[in-house]
């Protein structure tokens, strides 16, 4: 369900190795009716480790994460959002409490079948563009007043995120950026200059990239890892038009989404450039053996950056919007 390739050791910050035996112990202690189902590890993940539980469930157990917020957020909101979304998302069905054996949260969730896009491919680009647009239109409704807010700045307007852009831009090897440096900065500067979101905060996934969607039969089949869910600017998610979809599919996506004004598309494009640089940096770190690095993400990031720079911005907008009620 998130990344399935990792070079991280399966050890928490507190030094407890996460094994099938530990997962089975926790289930026997708190959910004994599930404890005898087959358990198998899902490689990857950073903040959380995933373990398949039978054919239809998975255990999401905190690894590097120390704060309970993301899992508590998923437990509260995903069961409410899932029924109205046209793609499956993981839904919490049981809660695991911290204990003496393992003093962190864990959650039993439904399993979303499919291959993570960072290990697969989209070959039906028009179908995938329409599917992603339908999913985001369904998600991007006005969030309730008590919805979670952006806690780490990923939902900020690009003008308030220049430090992040500068960090990723300088951290990626100059050879990997090549002659596109000026063009990348131009995309970012245009996003910084774009007007901000004037509508009410809408539900936003917050971290759409190739490890957080799954594919089957050449198209999108599910969306996973909603621990960054918050209420904010839809441009954060609309960056996926370039980050996830094949070359040339962005126009089809925005036509199907039909609700992004020019300013929102400009912000989304700049945020897509940052996400592409992030993926390139993660790939670079993986190539150098740095913990947390993902070698496969480098090429995916470079391809996404090429789409940001090469796909024409014209004709990507639909009708102007200011948000819709849930």
- CATH, range 116-310: 3.90.1200.10
Where do the structural domains in the chain lie, given as residue ranges? 20-111, 116-310
> So what's the pLDDT on residue 48?
84
Rg of the chain's alpha carbons, rounded to an integer? 19
Once rounded to an integer, what is the mean pLDDT over residues 138-153? 92
> So what's the pLDDT on residue 143?
97
Flag whether pLDDT at 260 surpasses 90.
yes
Flag whether pLDDT at 6 surpasses 50.
no
- Could you report the per-residue pLDDT of 152-189, keeping only the tens digit for each? 788 899 999 999 999 999 999 999 999 999 999 999 99
Write out the two tokens for 175.
């050879």
> CA-CA distance, 105 to 209, in Å (whole number)?
25
> So what's the pLDDT on residue 291?
85
Once rounded to an integer, what is the mean pLDDT over residues 138-163? 92
Q: Structurally, what CATH architecture does the domain formed by 20-111 represent? A: 2-Layer Sandwich (3.30)
Distance between the two ends of the chain, CA-based, in angstroms? Answer: 27
- Could you report the per-residue pLDDT of 57-78, keeping only the tens digit for each? 999 998 776 788 899 999 999 9
> So what's the pLDDT on residue 132?
98
Mean pLDDT for the chain overall:
90
304 and 312 Cβ atoms separated by less than 8 Å: no
63 and 46 Cβ atoms separated by less than 8 Å: yes
Candidate from 4-13, 79-88, 214-223 with smallest mean pLDDT: 4-13
Flag whether pLDDT at 3 surpasses 70.
no
The better pLDDT of the pair 44, 256 is held by: 256
Name, in order, each residue with C-beta under 8 angstroms of 68's C-beta and a sequence gap of 6 or more. Answer: 105
> So what's the pLDDT on residue 36?
97
pLDDT band at 1 (very low <50, low <70, confident <90, very high): very low
Once rounded to an integer, what is the mean pLDDT over residues 299-309? 97
Once rounded to an integer, what is the mean pLDDT over residues 33-55? 90
Cβ neighbourhood burial of 26 (10 Å; 0-12, 13-18, 19+): buried
Flag whether pLDDT at 89 surpasses 70.
yes
Flag whether pLDDT at 319 surpasses 80.
no
Residue where the block lists tokens 């179908």: 127
> So what's the pLDDT on residue 16?
65
Q: Are strands 115-116 and 106-110 parallel, antiparallel or unpaired?
A: unpaired
Flag whether pLDDT at 7 surpasses 70.
no
> So what's the pLDDT on residue 317?
54
User: H or E stretch including 77?
Assistant: helix 69-81
pLDDT band at 151 (very low <50, low <70, confident <90, very high): confident
pLDDT band at 256 (very low <50, low <70, confident <90, very high): very high
Candidate from 23-27, 82-86, 157-161, 291-295 with smallest mean pLDDT: 291-295
- Could you report the per-residue pLDDT of 235-245, keeping only the tens digit for each? 999 999 999 99
pLDDT band at 316 (very low <50, low <70, confident <90, very high): low
Q: What is the pTM of this model?
A: 0.90
Once rounded to an integer, what is the mean pLDDT over residues 7-20? 53
Task: Please state, for a pLDDT cut of 70, what percent of the chain lies above it.
Answer: 89
């Amino acid at each position: 369900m998130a990344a399935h390739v990792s070079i991280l050791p399966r050890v928490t910050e507190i030094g407890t190795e996460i094994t099938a035996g530990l997962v089975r112990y926790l289930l026997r202690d708190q959910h004994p009716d599930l404890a005898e189902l087959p358990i198998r590890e899902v490689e990857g993940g950073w903040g959380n480790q995933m373990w398949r539980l039978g054919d239809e469930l998975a255990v999401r157990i905190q690894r590097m994460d120390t704060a309970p917020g993301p899992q508590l957020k998923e437990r509260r909101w995903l069961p409410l959002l899932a029924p109205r979304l046209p793609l499956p998302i993981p839904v919490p069905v049981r809660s695991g409490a911290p204990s003496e054996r393992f003093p962190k949260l864990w959650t039993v969730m439904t399993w979303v079948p499919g291959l993570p896009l960072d290990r697969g491919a989209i070959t039906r680009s028009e179908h995938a563009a329409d599917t992603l647009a339908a999913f985001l239109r369904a998600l991007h409704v006005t969030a309730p007043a008590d919805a979670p807010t952006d806690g780490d700045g990923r939902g900020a307007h690009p003008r308030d995120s220049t430090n992040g852009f500068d960090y990723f831009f300088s951290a990626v090897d100059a050879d990997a950026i090549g002659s596109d440096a000026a063009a990348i900065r131009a995309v970012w500067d245009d996003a910084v200059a774009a007007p901000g979101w004037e509508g009410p905060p809408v539900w936003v996934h917050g971290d759409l990239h190739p490890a957080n969607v799954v594919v089957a039969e050449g198209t999108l089949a599910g969306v996973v890892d909603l621990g960054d869910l918050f209420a904010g600017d839809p441009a954060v998610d609309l960056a996926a038009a370039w980050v996830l979809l094949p070359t040339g599919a962005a126009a089809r996506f925005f036509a199907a989404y039909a609700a992004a004004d020019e300013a929102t598309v400009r912000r989304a494009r700049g945020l897509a450039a940052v996400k592409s640089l992030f993926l390139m940096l993660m790939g670079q770190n993986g190539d150098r053996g740095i913990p947390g690095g993902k070698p496969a993400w480098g090429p995916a990031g470079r391809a996404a950056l090429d789409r940001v720079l090469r796909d024409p911005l014209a004709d990507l907008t639909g009708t102007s919007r200011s948000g819709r009620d849930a």
